[in-house]
A = this chain, B = another copy of it.
């Protein structure tokens, strides 16, 4: 077998059996090898940002890496923003990036670029294969790197001659170390704080916001009176009916500071000491108050449910929690606002849904109205690089073909990677997209004031507006093969959403605000 086939077979043997791609000439041997290897699903994306975002969504739901196949430096470049999001979400991913044949790089052909330099800021592991003889072993190392806790981005650069020359067969993935256990001293410090009678906040992130971790954390909070919050952005929360209902640390810095203002001890489990999303004049970078005792119990790379179980024992929170049934909101009528949309979504989100949330300003307060929905997985934009929603929903649907994916999507962000709708159509993925059409980068209107750029003039405001012309989402979706409906009232949204949830396959609703 040639190098390409040994690469594809090694990926498959290592459990990496889905590839999101937009290939070019240098990747043709990889593409050709797909027909000689059963059981690897290759999904075409019309832009590389869709491929990397889909691999992120896939990894969040499958808890294992997908691969991407990208075309030299510029193809990798197009994927960077969603690699950034995946890195911040700690999603495992194996990128295969084609490169000119080893002997051809020196000639600086038009597509020649510094691929390693492009990859490094957005990858934990980068290697260029030297030859077909080593490419399988390199791929095995890449898989091991990707699967190293808490989840990493591995980028393997594959020169064309390393794919077309004779390869060395399949390589086995090296053993991946177990997640480290949390330090006992940190558990004891947290237990002491929890028993101190002083105000304590437990901040959860990473795997601690799945059902098991949430239940343990809620027990601890109930037993000790501590507060409980999730991080502002979470790669994957298990939430809704039958699960612990918690809120997130707010995005706006003033609100976040207010939430933690009186906290004496901040216990971190799978989370980081919270920082402001941006710097603002005369506002702090660190959210916790000065002098707050910050206790890192379990890092994102450590075993968080195990740490929570030990902490629960240490404070005597041994009784499994009874989670009360909650009531969904009623379906409202009238204009589409963040509140009425949140109520419709809360009323209708089905059991076992996967929710991809890039709702930005519209979606900011959706948690309270959806605590009784589902149960469901809730995936958020993690690195702040807008344009992850449509790709993430695409990848999640590939990972979980039997589940309904609901993509809650801001309009400005959706435009970044709108090409992903075509992949949803081609693969007949069961994704319902709600586009929140407020025709504005609405978040920036608030940010202008926050950074002290007050009294914006018409030129500034024009840069925040998506109007003139309005984007016609029904036309756009249909052009990409996805059927779509436009709604202008809450009752009509409910009606169309009900019907779309009953059907299978992709659909888009333009929610006109």
Considering the complex, which residues of chain A in the window 112-154 have a beta carbon less than 8 Å from any beta carbon of chain B? Answer: 113-114, 117-118, 120-122
**How distant is the Cα of A113 from the Cα of B119 in the complex, in angstroms?**
12
22 CB < 8 A contacts A-B:
A25-B443, A28-B453, A31-B459, A31-B460, A31-B463, A32-B456, A32-B457, A35-B457, A35-B460, A49-B78, A74-B84, A77-B80, A88-B110, A104-B276, A109-B277, A111-B384, A117-B120, A161-B279, A164-B451, A164-B453, A469-B480, A479-B479
Given A24-B444, A444-B23, A444-B28, do A121 and B118 touch, yes or no (CB 8 Å)? yes
Quote the shortest CB–CB distance from A167 to chain B (angstroms): 14
Q: A35-B456, A109-B278, A118-B118 are in contact. List 17 more A-B contacts (CB 8 A).
A: A23-B444, A24-B447, A26-B278, A28-B444, A28-B451, A29-B451, A31-B453, A47-B387, A77-B80, A78-B80, A104-B275, A104-B276, A107-B276, A111-B277, A111-B278, A111-B385, A416-B419
Which residues of the partner chain B approach A382 to less than 8 Å between Cβ atoms? 110
**How distant is the Cα of A453 from the Cα of B73 in the complex, in angstroms?**
23
**How distant is the Cα of A118 from the Cα of B77 in the complex, in angstroms?**
9
Given A26-B278, A468-B426, do A383 and B110 touch, yes or no (CB 8 Å)? yes
Which residues of the partner chain B approach A335 to less than 8 Å between Cβ atoms? none
Which residues of the partner chain B approach A475 to less than 8 Å between Cβ atoms? 475-476, 478-479
Contact of A109 among B26, B276, B385, B416 (CB under 8 A): B276
Which residues of the partner chain B approach A466 to less than 8 Å between Cβ atoms? 46
**Cβ proximity bits A243-280 to B, threshold 8 Å, 1 near / 0 not:** 00000000000000000000000000000100111110
Q: Does A44 contact B (CB under 8 A)?
A: yes
Which residues of the partner chain B approach A436 to less than 8 Å between Cβ atoms? none
Residue of B nearest to A383 (CB): B110
- Quick check: A35 and B459 within 8 Å, CB to CB? yes
**How distant is the Cα of A279 from the Cα of B105 in the complex, in angstroms?**
9
Given A277-B110, A453-B29, do A47 and B383 touch, yes or no (CB 8 Å)? no
Q: Does A474 contact B (CB under 8 A)?
A: yes
Residue of B nearest to A37 (CB): B459
How often does this chain occur in the complex, in copies? 2
Which residues of the partner chain B approach A25 to less than 8 Å between Cβ atoms? 277-278, 443-444, 447, 450-451
- Quick check: B453 and A32 within 8 Å, CB to CB? yes
**Cβ proximity bits A445-464 to B, threshold 8 Å, 1 near / 0 not:** 00110111100111110111
Q: Does A34 contact B (CB under 8 A)?
A: yes
Which residues of the partner chain B approach A321 to less than 8 Å between Cβ atoms? none
**Cβ proximity bits A26-70 to B, threshold 8 Å, 1 near / 0 not:** 101101101110000010101101000000000000000000000
**Cβ proximity bits A81-104 to B, threshold 8 Å, 1 near / 0 not:** 101110010000000000011011
Which residues of the partner chain B approach A49 to less than 8 Å between Cβ atoms? 78
Which residues of the partner chain B approach A23 to less than 8 Å between Cβ atoms? 444, 463
- Quick check: B471 and A279 within 8 Å, CB to CB? no
Which residues of the partner chain B approach A463 to less than 8 Å between Cβ atoms? 21, 23, 31, 34, 42, 44
Q: Does A415 contact B (CB under 8 A)?
A: yes
Which residues of the partner chain B approach A74 to less than 8 Å between Cβ atoms? 80-81, 84-85, 383-385
Q: Does A425 contact B (CB under 8 A)?
A: yes
Q: Does A323 contact B (CB under 8 A)?
A: no
Q: Does A378 contact B (CB under 8 A)?
A: no
- Quick check: B103 and A279 within 8 Å, CB to CB? yes
Q: Does A220 contact B (CB under 8 A)?
A: no
**How distant is the Cα of A437 from the Cα of B434 in the complex, in angstroms?**
29
Which residues of the partner chain B approach A104 to less than 8 Å between Cβ atoms? 275-276, 278-279, 285
Quote the shortest CB–CB distance from A438 to chain B (angstroms): 14
Q: Does A292 contact B (CB under 8 A)?
A: no
Which residues of the partner chain B approach A415 to less than 8 Å between Cβ atoms? 46-47, 419, 422
**How distant is the Cα of A416 from the Cα of B448 in the complex, in angstroms?**
30
**How distant is the Cα of A475 from the Cα of B481 in the complex, in angstroms?**
10
Contact of A121 among B35, B36, B117, B456 (CB under 8 A): B117
Residue of B nearest to A79 (CB): B77
Quote the shortest CB–CB distance from A54 to chain B (angstroms): 15
- Quick check: B279 and A160 within 8 Å, CB to CB? yes
Q: Does A281 contact B (CB under 8 A)?
A: yes
Q: Does A412 contact B (CB under 8 A)?
A: yes
**How distant is the Cα of A383 from the Cα of B71 in the complex, in angstroms?**
13
Q: Does A178 contact B (CB under 8 A)?
A: no
Which residues of the partner chain B approach A31 to less than 8 Å between Cβ atoms? 448, 453, 456, 459-460, 463-464
Q: Does A472 contact B (CB under 8 A)?
A: yes
Residue of B nearest to A80 (CB): B77
**How distant is the Cα of A218 from the Cα of B57 in the complex, in angstroms?**
57
